[in-house]
């Protein structure tokens, strides 16, 4: 029983950690891209990506997108029993989809700015999850 509680604590900590990580990463993407194309269009593209993926990753529906940025508080407060891996996979798909959208709009122009800063962090997240 005691070991179960310890596991739960570890899982909770990991979930929060993954959420913190993606919260920072998505804000970084937001800032880089909004500098290029403005907040209103970034908001539109983020919403578009979330809409597209929320069927496959329902927790993404709790992501709040506004002209001020992105908030993941809805996921934290939602009380959904999510594993860190589930969260990671959902956000990984979201980031990939955003990259696809940016490429479709402006070919390499956005990716050139974004890729060097964001890609190493996505790899870091993958490593963090697999080492869990």
Q: What is the DSSP string of 51-74?
A: HHHTTTSGGGGG-EEETTEEE-HH
- For residues 27 and 69, the answer to whether their CB atoms sit within 8 Å is yes
Q: Rounded CA gap, 125 and 4, in Å?
A: 25
Torsion of CA 97, 100, 105, 110, to 10 degrees: 100
Q: Does 61 bind another protein (CB under 8 A)?
A: no
Range in contact with another protein (rule: CB under 8 A) among 56-64, 71-79, 99-107, 118-126 = 99-107
Among 54, 113, 128, 132, the residue binding another protein under the rule CB under 8 A is: 113
Q: Does 16 bind another protein (CB under 8 A)?
A: no
Touching another protein, residues 22-51 (CB under 8 A): 35-38, 40-41, 43-44, 47-48, 51
Q: Taking the complex as a whole, how short is the minimal distance between the CB of residue 52 and another protein, in angstroms?
A: 7
Q: Rounded CA gap, 33 and 111, in Å?
A: 9
Q: Give the binding site for another protein (CB under 8 A).
A: 35-38, 40-41, 43-44, 47-48, 51-52, 101, 104-110, 112-113
């Amino acid at each position: 029983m005691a070991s179960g509680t310890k596991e739960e604590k570890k899982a909770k900590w990991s979930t929060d950690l993954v959420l913190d990580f993606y919260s920072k990463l998505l804000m970084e993407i937001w800032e880089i891209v909004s500098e290029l194309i403005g907040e209103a269009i970034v908001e539109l593209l983020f919403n578009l990506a979330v809409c597209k993926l929320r069927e496959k990753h329902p927790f993404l529906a709790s992501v709040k997108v506004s002209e001020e940025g992105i908030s993941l508080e809805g996921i934290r407060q939602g009380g959904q029993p999510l594993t860190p891996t589930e969260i990671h996979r959902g956000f990984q798909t979201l980031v990939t989809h955003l990259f696809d959208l940016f490429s479709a709009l402006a070919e390499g122009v956005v990716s050139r700015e974004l890729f060097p800063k964001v890609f190493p962090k996505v790899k870091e997240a993958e490593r963090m999850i697999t080492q869990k």
